[in-house]
Chain A
Amino acid sequence: MEHLILRVTTKILFAPILLFALYVQFHGDYGPGGGFQAGVIFSVAFILHALCFGLDATKRALPQNFLVVGMVVGFMLYAGTGVATMILGGNLLGYDALAPASTHHAGQHLGILLVEFGVGMAVASTMLTIFYHFAGREPEIDPKHW
């Protein structure tokens, strides 16, 4: 088997990278981090997989259609939080409306957590979509495809 060391290393690293992405995601409330960074780190795991096992194997594991859904669901988490606060009587993205009884702004905490998670999902899916399209590009576009 070719590139055995690289492949074994990738397999070992894959799960910790995803875990680290989630750490950056949810620790973003308290320290540096947040949805954008986490999303990129999350997609890096799959990009590494594609580099070592080939794009086709990665696309079998995580098809393009899933990514479209991921982008939309991520964005809808963000926008949905905004709409939820509007329905609950606040302004758009006025998180305090999520927990009006709280004395220590629990709504702000919950709101930003949801929004950032949406950002993370959308960024990870978008990064991978960009990667799939660049990596999967045919060298010369067939004129028939226009």
Chain B
Amino acid sequence: MSGLISQLPVLPVITPLIAAPLTLLLPKGRVPWAWATIVSWLTFAASAALLHNVATNGVVSYHLGDWAPPLGIEYRIDLANALVLFLVSGIAAIVFPFAYESVRSETDNRQSSLFYGAMQICLAGMLGVTITGDAFNVFVFLEISSLSTYALVAMGARRDRRALTAAFNYLVMGTIGATFFVIGIGLLYQATGTLNMADLHLRLAGQDNRVIEAGFAFIVVGIGLKAAMFPMHLWLPNAYTYAPSVVTAFIAATATKVAVYVLVRFFYSIFSPDFAFMQATFAYVLLPLGVIGMFVASLVAVFQADVKRMLAYSSVAQIGYMLLGVSLGTKAGLAAALVHVFNHALIKGALFMSVACVVLRLGSHANEAFQGLGRRMPVTTGAFILSGLSLVGAPATVGFISKWYLLKATFEVGHWGVSFLIVASSLISLIYIGRIIEMMVLREPPESGPLSAPIKEAPMSMLIPMWVLVAANVYFGLQTDLTGGIASAAADALMTVGGAR
């Protein structure tokens, strides 16, 4: 048993990584799905155990290949990445069981083993990015998850061939992002001669020169592209819209969150707050871009004729909230960003899952498909309304908790204008979510055309996982000890990481 505990840090990554190739050997049909579901549950169990372990015993360090850091690759898990690991594997454990019917109707069934294999590789990549304590290893895992995501987005081509151009766009933009990131890492390596994060932090302390500033800028732009930070979000709406619904639900809830986590990790675990260039970046780049992103993307979302696309733009706006929290540069701001990373994953996961149910029955995610849905698919409509209210920030949901933490953080530093803007942009999200809710509840179903055919409610295999996530939206909205408490402690840990070693 002690052997298992000592190997625990590596299990969340290697379980899906080893299981994914084996998926290729499985027969087509239900088996790859069942296998992926079991793997996602095992991974979640390992991540949950790891979070518990870190919460009780403090930072865990694991040396791959028994090579001691800083030479060897180190997995270093503190509360911040344990929380993100828990989140990503938790979303996977809910989305994978949900996937079967939706994937069967939206992708080519001959590719089912490839599809679930790619999903597991994507999961392994994101968990690897989160868990590692080695800057170059972040790049490797980032590419593992991104490459499989490109393939997954392209698999939406059976329903809509625009998925191919969306995937290609995402490939080009994502690769530019990865290149910028690795150039940044290269510059830091040139300046310090090390790739281990904790070691980088020690060696960068007190250094302030052009090489490091350039490295920092490259990393921010590179990860900013992956996170769909406001002016670099152009790949995101198409990729989310044309990907298979399950893929959208999975990556919308995880991929950009992991990228935001990487930014935070670099800001605080590698650079330190006394790095003047970073403070300037916070004040003059991240804060304004975050605020502009909140407004522009929300306004664009209001005018979309397609629910999936609308939610994609809303995701860009939500990234703005997270960057806003980070850019305050305070512990409360960082905690607010981490809380929102967690909460927004629950919200967007649930919303995109309800869209997946609609697509399964009606074959469309245009606004018209949602007309009168309250009478045709009441259970799905309920899930959409609850998680939509959560997105707006209604009390007793996680969205409210996020906004509350964020507002508190802005009050603390006296940015009254920014607090006002947060509330104002929340009202815009009320407009676009309210518009869809109005369509679903108050309008009549279409009477003619392909959308008017009588339909059943989505199958149980989809409703149960979706409602688990909706219930999580409410549970974590009432019970904030886990998210708020761990996020605050994680922010503490991030801001004091240099002294820990």
Q: Which residues does A use to contact B, with CB under 8 Å?
A: 68-69, 71-72, 75-76, 79, 82-83, 86, 89-97, 146
Contact = CB atoms under 8 A, between A and B. Distances in A.
Q: Which 9 A-B pairs have the closest CB atoms?
A: A94-B66, A93-B65, A72-B21, A75-B21, A79-B18, A92-B10, A91-B66, A94-B65, A86-B7
A60 B3 CA distance: 47
Interface string B146-181: 000000000001100100000000000000000000
A76 B63 contact: no
Contacts of A92: 7, 10, 14, 64-65
Nearest to A75: B21
B439 interface: no
A79 B21 CA distance: 10
B255 interface: no
A91 B65 contact: yes
Interface of A is mostly: helix
Contact of A89 (B3, B24, B62): B3
A137 B75 CA distance: 42
Contacts of A91: 7, 10, 62-66
Contacts of B64: 91-94
Contact of A79 (B3, B14, B161): B14
Contacts of B460: none
A92 B64 CA distance: 6
A146 B161 contact: yes
A86 B9 CA distance: 12
Contacts of B21: 71-72, 75-76
B17 A79 contact: yes
A89 B3 CA distance: 7
Given A86-B7, A92-B65, A93-B64, A69 B25 contact: yes
Interface of B: 3, 7, 10, 14, 17-18, 21-22, 24-25, 62-66, 157-158, 161
A123 to B, nearest CB: 14
26 contacts: A68-B25, A69-B25, A71-B21, A71-B24, A72-B21, A72-B24, A72-B25, A75-B21, A76-B18, A76-B21, A79-B14, A79-B17, A79-B18, A86-B10, A90-B66, A91-B10, A91-B63, A91-B64, A91-B65, A92-B7, A92-B64, A94-B65, A94-B66, A95-B65, A96-B66, A97-B66
B41 to A, nearest CB: 19
B161 to A, nearest CB: 6
Nearest to B159: A146
**Most chain A beta-carbon contacts within 10 A, residue among B7, B66, B157:** B66
Contacts of B157: 146
Contacts of B62: 91
Given A76-B21, A92-B7, 13 more contacts: A76-B18, A79-B14, A79-B17, A82-B14, A86-B10, A91-B10, A91-B66, A92-B14, A92-B65, A94-B66, A95-B65, A146-B157, A146-B161
Given A91-B64, A92-B65, A93-B64, A72 B3 contact: no
Nearest to B22: A72
Nearest to A108: B65
B195 to A, nearest CB: 17
Nearest to A94: B66
B22 to A, nearest CB: 7
A97 B3 CA distance: 14
A89 B66 CA distance: 11
Among A68, A92, A93, A96, max chain B CB count under 10 A is at A92
A63 to B, nearest CB: 15
Contacts of A72: 21-22, 24-25
B4 to A, nearest CB: 10
A146 B158 contact: yes
Nearest to B117: A72
Nearest to A95: B65
B16 to A, nearest CB: 11
Contacts of A146: 157-158, 161
A82 B14 CA distance: 10
A68 B24 contact: yes
B48 to A, nearest CB: 20
A75 B121 CA distance: 13
Contacts of A95: 65
A133 to B, nearest CB: 13
B24 A76 contact: no
Contacts of A83: 14, 18
A76 B161 CA distance: 35
Contacts of A97: 66
Contacts of B17: 79
Contacts of A76: 18, 21-22
A97 B485 CA distance: 40
B116 to A, nearest CB: 14
A94 B72 CA distance: 11
B157 to A, nearest CB: 6
Contacts of A90: 66
A76 B22 CA distance: 8
A76 B18 CA distance: 7
Nearest to A69: B25
B240 to A, nearest CB: 20
A137 B204 CA distance: 51
Contacts of A94: 64-66
Contacts of B63: 91
B8 to A, nearest CB: 11
A94 B73 CA distance: 12
B87 to A, nearest CB: 23
Contacts of A93: 64-65
Q: Which of A75, A89, A91, A97 has the most CB of B within 10 A?
A: A91
Nearest to A143: B161
